[in-house]
A = this chain, B = another copy of it.
């Protein structure tokens, strides 16, 4: 009896490759608009809801919504009702890079067993507190440390991570500047 190993990381690569082909033919369908709605609760506690987004030429509705709270921790005299906004950026980065690793692994026929990461981002609060105008408000840098168990060599695993970085939307948003326009009561 011969055995054929089926690689399954839970990613439908055929659908993704099909989407790439379809969107190459129809570039208008590739124009997405991601959305979030947010509502102040109290203090630094805000609740955001995620559901609809525009894509494939029309508004997409998930038929459900994700509610995500952000707040400050108790050491800032806040109520700690959710992760801080800066931690939420780390969650986005972890999710984007990790989903990318699974997708690239599937495409390359590499079975993943576990993909864990620890993210650390130093920040000098002298920025946001207005103590020192020379200190930036955001992170000084971010370090992502992956521990990956997969049926692959160390070189193949490193290549997975590198390809995921290369195609990661959140990695791009953090490492390159993006314009943010804020409007009020218009």
Give chain A's interface residues, CB within 8 Å of chain B: 9-12, 15-16, 19-20, 23-24, 27, 30-40, 42-46, 48, 50, 53, 55-56, 60, 62, 66, 68, 70-80, 82-99, 101-103, 112, 114-131, 136-148, 154, 157-158, 161, 165, 167-186
Contacts and interface: CB of A to CB of B under 8 A. Distances in A.
Interface of A is mostly: mixed
B92 A128 contact: no
Q: How many copies does the complex hold?
A: 2
Contacts of A86: 34, 92, 96, 169-170, 173
Given A32-B122, A89-B173, 7 more contacts: A36-B91, A88-B88, A142-B181, A144-B181, A165-B180, A165-B182, A174-B177
Contacts of A101: 40
Given A179-B141, A183-B144, A33 B129 contact: no
Nearest to A125: B30
25 contacts: A15-B77, A19-B76, A23-B125, A31-B125, A32-B122, A33-B121, A35-B90, A35-B120, A38-B119, A39-B115, A39-B117, A40-B101, A43-B102, A44-B103, A46-B95, A48-B95, A68-B88, A68-B91, A85-B93, A85-B96, A130-B167, A138-B170, A138-B178, A141-B180, A145-B186
